[in-house]
Amino acid sequence: MKILTTNSIDSIIQYINQLDLNVYMINVNLDDGNLSMIIELHKMNQFSKYDKYLLTNYITSFLSIVMSHVYVTNELYVMWNKNELNTELVAYHMKISDDEVNQLVNHKVTNLTDLHPNFNEISFLTRSINEHNSTIAIMIMFDQLGFIKHWNIQRSTLACFILTVKKNYRTPTYHNWTHAFTVGHMAYVALNIESTLINQYLDKIEQLTLFVGALCHDIDHRGFNNNYQTLIHSPLASIYGYKGSILEHHHVDQTMRILNLTDCNIFSQMSNVEYKRCITLLKQIILATDLYQHITIMPEIIQMTNDVYNPCNQRHHELLLCILVTGCDLNDQCKNWYNTRDTAKLIYHEFFNQGDLEKVYGTTPLPSLDRNKAFIPELQIHFLDSIVQPCFKTLSIILPKFQSTLNTIQVNKQIWQMLSDEFHGNTLMNYTNECLFEKIYDKLVEDYMITNNLSY
């Protein structure tokens, strides 16, 4: 048996079959037509037409199926080995040095308030913490929330996990490690300031997965949304498109890749039952950060609050985790207006970059993605009204200490409304988004807050 990588052999076989009637050669093509198998058969007597008919129409069909199976199996084996190689390469390049781990493990900070006196407050401006101190803060938060002691997490493993997660965040202007840290901080604050209620509402595994999910929810984000992945037929869209929530599924898988590294497996001391539940919850929490999913389940969440949260209802646990992680994801919107304005600059930089590329692809981007059409004050008002305010209003019913966010959101909305009114009233005839981001209108905002006795 010989396998040839050519399809131009039929004429040769026909010639040989005519030359010797005791020999019958058949060319068996695989389904893709790129590979052929030549079978050479011998018979004491000459091959009859019926012999040739049977061989050509039945045996060759069977052999073609067999060889196709062999070929596909071999291809799968090669692909599996390539995947193993890629996994090994990724693990190698993700690896954190021992010096980095030891430095984080042996940090000298004892309290979060040493990093900033207001660190434990909802209103704290998390973006004021630098990257080095952010990893230290997360180590301390894991400790203060009781996770290290409860599951006997090795500090070196935790440090490696935190640093690896940080390393796996890319550097778009908004969806980066700093954003992950702000979301993680809000999860910590929720678990900390409402600890009495939280301990009644959520068990320890749910609390842990909320915190870890908050840190990992946007890991390896590229600065482009799900619609863009579909538009350009990206590899991520090819892998996850049929599931929906393309990026969120990728964030889940990337988180799992990190947890599967021995040096990063902070869940290693759990029982099998705990581990499986932890992974299931982690996936649900990260997928819940897709705002489309949030909008879909929001009526059910509102119904839950109307019925009063029931700790014995497992679905209530799931819904609470979903709205908690969404609230954490939106945390920049319930800080003071200047922080919100600075955050908007980062977000719209990504939006406009995507909008520019969508135009290259011949599509018309949404107004929020079009730098020539986006009027940010009105876009922000719509976002606060449709997403942010309903989320925190509902959350504050379940966890009353989040009531303070509602005043902040309302003040921010009033400021955005004032800027919109000034523009439409021709007071800000020369308004541009660039002027907004360059703080040209800050004095106008300050005067407005003083005149209207607005405060946070």
Q: How far apart are CA 148 and CA 140, in angstroms?
A: 10
Q: Is 175 a catalytic residue?
A: yes
Q: How far apart are CA 391 and CA 343, in angstroms?
A: 19
Q: Choose, from 69, 175, 221, 317, the residue flagged as catalytic.
A: 175
- What SS3 string covers 372-425? CCCCHHHHHHHHHHHHHHHHHHHHHHHCHHHHHHHHHHHHHHHHHHHHHHHHHC
Q: Are 414 and 451 in contact (CB under 8 A)?
A: no
Q: Is 154 annotated as a binding residue?
A: no
Name the residue among 351, 341, 328, 343 with its Cα closest to residue 412: 341
HSE at residue 339, side-chain half, CA atoms within 13 A, is 19
- The token duo for 373 is 């059409």
Q: Is 217 annotated as a binding residue?
A: yes
Give the dihedral of Cα atoms 291, 292, 298, 299; nearest 10 deg. 160
**Ramachandran angles phi, psi of 261, nearest 5°:** -80, 130
Q: Are 226 and 354 in contact (CB under 8 A)?
A: no
Q: Is 380 annotated as a binding residue?
A: yes
Residue whose tokens read 């009105």:
378
Q: Is 175 annotated as a binding residue?
A: yes
Q: Are 159 and 101 in contact (CB under 8 A)?
A: yes
DSSP string across 215-280:
HHTTTT--S--HHHHHHTT-HHHHHHGGGS-HHHHHHHHHHHHHHTSGGG-TTTTS-HHHHHHHHH
Q: How far apart are CA 118 and CA 456, in angstroms?
A: 14
Q: Is 178 annotated as a binding residue?
A: yes
Question: Which residues are documented as binding site?
Answer: 175-179, 217-218, 329, 380
Catalytic residue list: 175
Question: Which residues are documented as binding site for Zn(2+)?
Answer: 179, 217-218, 329
Question: Which residues are documented as binding site for AMP?
Answer: 175-179, 218, 329, 380
